[in-house]
Chain A
Amino acid sequence: GDSVTQMEGPVTLSEEAFLTINCTYTATGYPSLFWYVQYPGEGLQLLLKATKADDKGSNKGFEATYRKETTSFHLEKGSVQVSDSAVYFCALSDRGANSKLTFGKGITLSVRP
């Protein structure tokens, strides 16, 4: 079945550091890929998405490129802020599975001033 693998966490960075969070996937079809963010005590918010190979999703300085050849969707940000501290989830939606999302385990990012 479909699966998403995220790098192990947690991750602690200093403000203005470069961020990379790795995500790879396994899917039988051609999935859409997502990054969601969860702030403490809240639900998930969509951060960015990509629906086909080579698409780049971007939002709030975060970027991720859909790489079909490496089945990856790594999240990057050039300069993190304290306000980026949250849990980040990589997810996929198989086009044949309606709205079902398959999530990675999530990674906690802490950014210190």
Chain B
Amino acid sequence: KAGVTQTPRYLIKTRGQQVTLSCSPISGHRSVSWYQQTPGQGLQFLFEYFSETQRNKGNFPGRFSGRQFSNSRSEMNVSTLELGDSALYLCASSWGDKNEQFFGPGTRLTVL
């Protein structure tokens, strides 16, 4: 079974631009969560989608948004990029609420 895939793996953007990251969960998994990992703040929860609905949201500004498609694939978007948005963005999928989450390799975003 293929694991969680994230594209692109690396991305360089400049301040003010916007970016879209993609996550394909493990086949059959309906929940997709997104996390931001930085050296200073560690791993922080962004949001979770289940059956195309956002079920949970972390404490991030409205510039961070996401969506989930009917095939469970998910995208997250960051608008008006700031230098502080440079991070590793991790996606995780699971079958349901109480199941193990499987993480993808992440997308490394650098904002210049």
The secondary-structure label for the interface of chain B is: strand
Cβ–Cβ < 8 Å partners of A26 in chain B: none
Decide: B50 and A98 in contact? CB cutoff 8 A. Answer: yes
Query: Which of A12-20, A38-46, A70-78 is the interface stretch?
Result: A38-46
Decide: B104 and A43 in contact? CB cutoff 8 A. Answer: yes
Decide: B43 and A98 in contact? CB cutoff 8 A. Answer: no
Cβ–Cβ < 8 Å partners of B100 in chain A: 46, 49
Interface string of A45-58 (1 = CB under 8 A from B): 11001010000000
Cβ–Cβ < 8 Å partners of A66 in chain B: none
Q: Within the assembled complex, what's the spacing in Å between the Cα atoms of A36 and B101?
A: 10
Q: Which of B4, B42, B94, B104 meets A99, CB within 8 Å?
A: B94
Q: Which of A36, A89, A98 meets B55, CB within 8 Å?
A: A98
A80–chain B nearest beta-carbon distance, Å: 23
Total interface residues in chain A, CB < 8 Å: 23
Decide: B56 and A43 in contact? CB cutoff 8 A. Answer: no
Decide: A98 and B97 in contact? CB cutoff 8 A. Answer: yes
Asked if A42 meets B45 with Cβ closer than 8 Å, knowing A98-B50, A99-B56, A101-B33, the reply is no
Decide: A106 and B55 in contact? CB cutoff 8 A. Answer: no
A105 at the interface (CB under 8 A from B): yes
Q: Which of A41, A45, A95, A106 meets B43, CB within 8 Å?
A: A106
User: Told that A43-B90, A103-B44 touch, could you supply 10 new A-B pairs with CB distance under 8 A?
Assistant: A44-B90, A89-B43, A97-B56, A99-B33, A99-B56, A101-B43, A101-B92, A101-B101, A102-B45, A103-B35
B interface residues (Cβ-Cβ under 8 A, vs A): 4, 31, 33, 35, 42-45, 48, 50, 55-56, 58, 90, 92, 94, 97-98, 100-106
A interface residues (Cβ-Cβ under 8 A, vs B): 32, 36, 41-46, 49, 51, 89, 91, 95, 97-106
Question: Which 6 residue pairs across A and B have the least CB separation, nearest first?
Answer: A43-B103, A103-B43, A44-B103, A105-B42, A43-B105, A99-B31
